[in-house]
Amino acid sequence: MAKLPAIFLLQKSPAIPLLSFCSPLFPSFPSSLTSSSSPLHTLSTCRIADVRFGAFRAKIAAGSGSVAPTLPELSGGLKDIYKCCSIWRWKGYSVNFFVKGTGPPLLLVHGFGASIAHWRRNIGVLSENYTVYAIDLLGFGSSDKPLGFSYTMEVWSQLILDFLCEIIKKPTVLIGNSVGSLACVIAASEATQGMVRGIVLLNCAGGMNNKAIVDDWRIRLILPLFWLIDLLLKQRSIASAIFENVKKRENLKNILLSVYGNKESVDEDLITIIKKPADDVGALDAFISIVTGPPGPNPVSLMPKVTVPVLLLWGDKDPFTPIDGPVGKYFSALPSQLSNVNLYLLEGVGHCPHDDRPDLVHEKLLPWLAALPAI
């Protein structure tokens, strides 16, 4: 999801250029899942561990993780996702994860503000031939949101590597969106023992926040505003007011509409998926830490270290990481420089291709997965 606070608060309109700066990645979600044709409609029974259900509410055990949305608020496909989640204890924290299907493993990693449910339109299709894992990164979804925690890209990439070693225990294809993509790149550049089999990057971010992108005239123009936002967000009362305003349903809807190419994909389920975890204790701390923290490693220094096959899928209507921006230009040039990289531009698609136009993503992703060398 996108960090779009201060500007949105001041302008009260989804101004794309301004949106991209309070946050580099906004999650995405597609249209209704209630029809029988939905890829998640026929989700089979999943493993459930450490999750309790009652009185129409599902509470993740222990920690400061999210209380799952009230089940009657959600479509059937999303209810199945929430019911099939499990808890993994990592460094003393509860990390929420999902698993479904059989076959070679895939790990889905969401972007800023999103969660496992952001993959609602992909899990059903992918799980027909693969074991699909998905995680809520620390600070998001139903995973813990520890107070005062310093979030970094390195923390999330280490979480991914440890999840591969402790839970999946097999060579895995990492599939990430936005900041989740960057976490996958870092993990792949550091992985040992062949644990990463390939990576799929959906509109990869250039950093944990837009402060990483300083060679774009659009960013340089508003750099003083970044500094002002950092200063304001370090005043908790101001940060709280901004955060409360941004997470109002109508504001979230406007933000999502500004970053999705397919406006029909912005439905009530999507808004609920993003809003509910934002109401958790610790969500404000995560928001402040991520927006004001260090941007983390730059993909320019990381990609040459990645030797496994790489698939780049890029929505050409992305306002956060536009294909003509520095990050987009770097990745679009990679196929001519690195033999292990393939790139496809997705026409009319925004920042979250997998939820915006899952059909276009699957059209490129499934053949690429099938062509990977056998484990």
Q: What is the pLDDT of residue 355?
A: 98
Specify which of 52-61, 64-73, 213-222, 246-255 reaches the highest per-range mean pLDDT: 246-255
For 127-180, the pLDDT digits (tens) are 999 999 999 999 999 999 999 999 999 999 999 999 999 999 999 999 999 999
> Does position 60 have pLDDT exceeding 50, yes or no?
no
Do the Cβ atoms of 209 and 293 come closer than 8 Å? Answer: yes
- The burial class, CB within 10 Å (0-12 / 13-18 / 19+), for 237 is exposed
Q: What is the pLDDT of residue 219?
A: 60
Q: Among 204-213, 228-237, 352-361, where is mean pLDDT lowest?
A: 204-213
* Reported pTM: 0.82
Q: How many whole angstroms from its chain centre is CA 324?
A: 22
Residues with Cβ within 8 Å of residue 61, at least 6 apart in sequence: 50, 51, 52, 87, 94
Specify which of 30-44, 209-223, 295-309 reaches the highest per-range mean pLDDT: 295-309
> Does position 7 have pLDDT exceeding 50, yes or no?
no
Name the region of 318 (left: φ>0; alpha: ψ -120 to 50; beta: rest): beta
Q: What is the pLDDT of residue 144?
A: 98
Please write down the long-range contacts of 236-241, taking CB distance under 8 Å and 24 or more positions apart: 236/284, 236/288, 239/284, 239/287, 239/288, 240/284, 241/9
For 269-278, the pLDDT digits (tens) are 999 999 999 9
Q: What is the pLDDT of residue 31?
A: 30
Which is higher by pLDDT, 176 or 57?
Answer: 176
Q: What is the pLDDT of residue 21?
A: 31
Do the Cβ atoms of 204 and 299 come closer than 8 Å? Answer: yes
Cα dihedral 60/255/106/32 (nearest 10): 80
Triad 324, 115, 320: Cα angle to 5°? 15
Find the helix or strand (DSSP H, E) in which 368 lies: helix 358-370
DSSP assignment, residue 375? Answer: -
Q: What's the whole-number mean pLDDT along residues 17-27?
A: 33
User: How many CA atoms, within 13 angstroms, populate the side-chain half-sphere of residue 144?
Assistant: 20
Give SS3 for 127: coil
For helices 283-292 and 223-233, the axis angle rounded to 10 degrees is 150
Do the Cβ atoms of 43 and 84 come closer than 8 Å? Answer: yes
Mean pLDDT of the chain: 82
> Does position 248 have pLDDT exceeding 60, yes or no?
yes
Do the Cβ atoms of 77 and 114 come closer than 8 Å? Answer: no
For 92-117, the pLDDT digits (tens) are 999 999 999 999 999 999 999 999 99
- Among 50, 66, 83, smallest CA distance to 144 is for 66
Q: What is the pLDDT of residue 77?
A: 81
For 173-204, the pLDDT digits (tens) are 999 999 999 999 999 999 988 999 999 999 99
Residue 120: which pLDDT band, with cuts at 50, 70 and 90? Answer: very high
